[in-house]
Chain A
Amino acid sequence: MPTTVYSARRIITMDPTRPVATHVAVAADGTILGVGTLNDMSHWSDTVQDDRFADKVLMPGFVEGHAHLMEGAIWEYTYLGHFGRTAPDGRHWPGVDTTEALISRLQDRAAAAPDGPVVGWGFDPLFVPGKRLTRQHLDQVSQERPVIVFHSNMHLITANSAAMDLAGYGSGTDLPGVIRNTDGSLHGELHEMGAMFPVMRRIGTSFSQLTGGRDAIWNFARSACRAGVTTSTDLLNELGDDAVSDLQSVTGAEGFPLRLVPMLSAMSMPTDQLAGRAKTLAAGSTDRLRLGGVKIVTDGSIQGFTAQMKAPGYYRGTAQGIWNIAPDALNTMAANLNRAGIQMHIHVNGDAASLAAIEALEAALSEHFMPDHRHTLQHCQMADRAQLRRAAALGCCVNFFANHLYYFGDKHHDITMGPERANRMNPCRSALDLGLPLAIHSDAPVTPLGPLFTAWCAVNRLTGSGRRLGAAERITLDEALHAITLGAAYTLKLDGEVGSIEVGKRADFAVLEDDPYEMGGEALKDIGVWGTVSGGRAVEAGSF
């Protein structure tokens, strides 16, 4: 088999000894053999020159350190969000700005499928002016078929009368989470899982069906390719035998262009069995399926007021902080996993949660030294510099939710956190100054998968309304590109294989239409993505 030599307008390698190149030689097995100029390629015989990228820019394939396969499943439903968004099939869905537009989009969907429930997702009433979406609005979509709309946070739905009837909800219903108008009639909104459950089960929707499955995995890979992503986590998975078998067969399929890194949910089994399961899973890893890490979820979300905040707590609104694991139990779990040599990714949003995780890791690492552990604080949005210093002293990594700055930044500034703390959210500059290994993420489908956009957020820190949050926490273009390649790869212990274009590493590239250095940090989000090269094979977005 010949060696392929790709030429490009520019190759940004992320390798400091050779930061830019024009040619890269790739062996038939998908390994990089050479990086340099055309001259440097003359060493290789039996080569095929491939100039299809001659006017494009290659970067190391992007690494998404915090996303979920749900991004591949949720598009089964109709998108109703405020921000325009592209589906895995490439169809661009413009944002929904009015209730009329929402109704009309659901009517189209109802017309396209002759029966069954009509389900929408991604709706955020704060962005739709006028009267809040009600049951009667959705009755305009159908009087007979159930119609439900998931709000963007997935904790609320609005349902039509037919859906309410199925659950037995009526004007006499007095239940927590079933919202009523002042005259006692049903409004249409159902808050939290308890109230949503009777409706959802009767129309055959559940959250577990959105977490995986073969189609979802393929769809996820389609979205990844559009974003230049060649390695991505699925950062919370029960990883039962069926799920693992789906993952193995799909990622093992000829031409599957993505390396998936699913993390075992720590809540999926008793603490004392976790380490054993993680090791069994790790042993089944392949090039395109990397198993063995564990994800622990501590608190909730900031915009949902369920994150655990230290004093003085939330700026406005009622704190409803939740623990998904008791701090004492977290200590035990962290100690067990650390002792067994298992890498942990710990979801912490509020500063009381990040503190609890830091304390648990401190205790675990004091008891048992685990070299190069790379335990990673995920989201970690509200940690202050004192907490970051402690995390740095422990040798932890942070993976910040940079996209929050744009999508929720205005809300955090005005409502949840107030100006001071909103300005220091997701403090990338501080983390780098303190020597913390840094990644940044989208948490797709919470926000769209797109590392270049995520990098733009970290460089510019602009909110949806254009306000700049904490200019002092901006990072440079170089640093942001590092965070979405080698930085994220480091948090997954894959930096020896991917994340830069170097001899011996996997030939995983993001193929860009524009040069980030020519465009500049302010235009990062506007850079076009042609697709990827995965294991040496060129994969155009939309081609599969």
Chain B
Amino acid sequence: MSTRAPLPVNVICGYLGAGKTTLLNRLLTQSEERIIVMVNDFGDIAVDAALVSARSADTIQLSNGCICCSMAGGMFDAFERALSLRETADRLVIEASGVAEPARLTAFARAEPDLDCRAVVAVVDPFTLEQRLQDGRICGVVRRQIEGADVVYLSRSDRQPDERSRKACTRVMLANPASAIHDAMGKAFLKAMDAPHVDMTVSTLPAHAHADLFSRATLLQDAAPEREGFLDRLRAAALSLHRAKGFVRFASEEAPSLVQLAGGEITVCKPPNDPGPGPAVRLVLIGTDDAALRRFRTKQATLEPLPARSGTT
């Protein structure tokens, strides 16, 4: 309905207390863009009072051009309100509730022609992740938040890493090796946020495709593979794969490449964002044929992943 370019949208998800609001407050005060932030709860927005230029029941305007919008009244109205502010903004950032399924939110941003779905960020507190994943009531949504993300932001980087937090990083990488992992809100993170969203979740497969039928496998490998051999093996498996995405640092190459497989087509290119350090091969595979997924993985001679080092300092 707008003649302007679609509004870039980021979804920031993460369970309660993961650190979403801290990240958001930093974004609001540090970004050079005019950002519309959609939040559930203004109470969380602790921007410098000096920055607040106007306040109403459902918006807070900041002097740097950013606007906070309430999601009260539901997603329909919230998106409509944000779109009505299109002319005054460069970006829409949605702070999802702690139990929001990211796929439900990105569905809006992907379907609406006036919106442009960019990276989904999952905020993870590495010190409590294990505990969350053991809570039967919420482990599913916490897992799907990580699986659905393009960028995982590990909070609490001010704390000394310990056994728990190191284990959490490995867990994140196992759950979603295709995500770029960051632990600081620097330029690299902002660039990663700007990359387009790539859907790698089983839950958002076309509705006629029964999600039950799909398996998801993760491939992590420290040894850098030869480019041709690796791509040949991937091509051979392509028929039984619905989708694949991840980062591969090929032997004798310095920078990792972004490898994607969709609709039987393999593309290899320079990653739009810095994936952060990690094993040479970080790939997530989705397909209907469990055995084929396993075969491909075995052929790659999977090694135990190193304890992942986080961050992109």
Contact = CB atoms under 8 A, between A and B. Distances in A.
Interface of A: 167-168, 174-180, 191-195, 197-198, 200-202, 206-208, 238, 240, 267-273, 308, 318, 320-329, 352, 356
B74 A207 contact: yes
Contacts of B103: 176
Nearest to B17: A328
A194 B72 contact: no
B229 to A, nearest CB: 31
Contacts of B210: 318
B113 A168 contact: yes
B98 A193 contact: no
B157 interface: no
Nearest to B106: A194
Contacts of B140: 321
Given A193-B76, A197-B76, A269-B72, A327 B111 contact: no
B42 interface: yes
Contact of B111 (A177, A322, A352): A177
A326 B111 contact: no
A102 B141 CA distance: 39
A320 B211 CA distance: 10
Interface string B98-115: 110101111111111100
Interface stretch (B163-171, B199-207, B284-292): B199-207
Contacts of A202: 1
Interface of B: 1, 15-16, 40-43, 57, 72-77, 79-80, 97-99, 101, 103-113, 137-138, 140-141, 199, 203-208, 210-212
B80 A193 contact: no
A326 B138 contact: yes
Most chain B beta-carbon contacts within 10 A, residue among A238, A270, A273, A352: A270
A378 B196 CA distance: 42
A177 B212 CA distance: 16
A492 B159 CA distance: 49
Most chain A beta-carbon contacts within 10 A, residue among B1, B79, B103, B111: B111
Contacts of A322: 99, 101
Contacts of B72: 238, 267-269
A207 B57 contact: no
Contacts of A269: 72
A238 B75 CA distance: 14
Nearest to B207: A191
25 contacts: A175-B107, A175-B110, A176-B103, A180-B206, A191-B207, A192-B104, A194-B106, A194-B107, A194-B108, A195-B107, A197-B75, A197-B111, A201-B80, A206-B76, A207-B74, A238-B72, A267-B72, A268-B73, A322-B101, A323-B137, A324-B99, A326-B99, A327-B138, A328-B16, A329-B99
B208 to A, nearest CB: 6
A403 to B, nearest CB: 25
Most chain A beta-carbon contacts within 10 A, residue among B112, B113, B137: B137
Given A198-B112, A206-B77, A179 B208 contact: yes
A179 B73 CA distance: 27
A206 B108 contact: no
Contacts of A179: 206-208
A171 to B, nearest CB: 14
B106 to A, nearest CB: 7
Contact of A208 (B15, B74, B111): B74
Most chain A beta-carbon contacts within 10 A, residue among B104, B138, B207: B207
